[in-house]
Structures are given as C-alpha cells and as structure tokens.
Amino acid sequence: MANKRQLKKQIRYICGDIAAECALAKYIVDGINREAMNDALIKIADLQEETLSRVNVTFDKLPKDFESLKAYNKAKTEFTNKAFASINAEFSKDIQEIVKQMNNALPHKKD
C-alpha cells in the first residue's frame, strides 16, 4: 500500500460495499435472519472505525536518530510497510468472519 490516504479509501470502499450488500439482502431475501444481518452491519461499522484509527500510526523516530536522512527514510518506509501489512491482514481476517456471518444468516435450502 502506497500511503495512508489510499489505504483509508480502500477500507471505506470495502466496508461500504459489504454494508450495502448486507442491507440489501436484509430487505430482499425472504427468510433471512434479519437480526444476524443487523449484527453484521454493526460489526462492519465498528471494524471500519477501528481499522481507520489504526491507519494513523506514526513513526516514532526522528531524522536526528539516524546517521543519515537516507537511513531515516529507509527505516520509516520499512516501519510503515510492516504496519500497513499488519493492519491489512487483521482487516482481511475480520472481513472474512463478517462474510461468514452474513452467509450463515441466509436461509438454507432443505433437500
């Protein structure tokens, strides 16, 4: 991920898309568990808020802490990449859990 702004846009887009699918299914699909879909919507909103706040991570070192500006920039880039990778992995895991919850709320066919 290149920067905070792009990551935040991506998080908002994904959460908005899933929330829209959830809300639409809640009113269109007969026999859906509406309570479970309401819970999923709340989880999506909470996940978005929590993840966006985590994106605001900052590098806690100053250029004077390094022997050169190049070393500082390298360390800052590595820190940011690791932080964003961790945020992305946790976000993906949480999204998968919400999608499972949404799928479980769908009515199941009886054969």
Tell which residue, 90, 105, 102, 74, has the closest CA to residue 11: 90
State the average pLDDT over residues 32-59: 94
pLDDT at 2 over 90: no
Give the relative orientation of helices 69-105 and 34-55 as an angle to the nearest 10 degrees: 180
State the average pLDDT over residues 34-63: 94
CB 33 within 8 A of CB 105: yes
pLDDT at 102 over 60: yes
Domain boundaries, the chain: 4-105
What pTM does this model have?
0.84
pLDDT in tens, 72-98: 999 999 999 999 999 999 999 999 999
Top-confidence residue, 56 or 12: 12
At 65, list the tokens.
């802490």
Q: Which residue has the tokens 């895991």?
A: 93
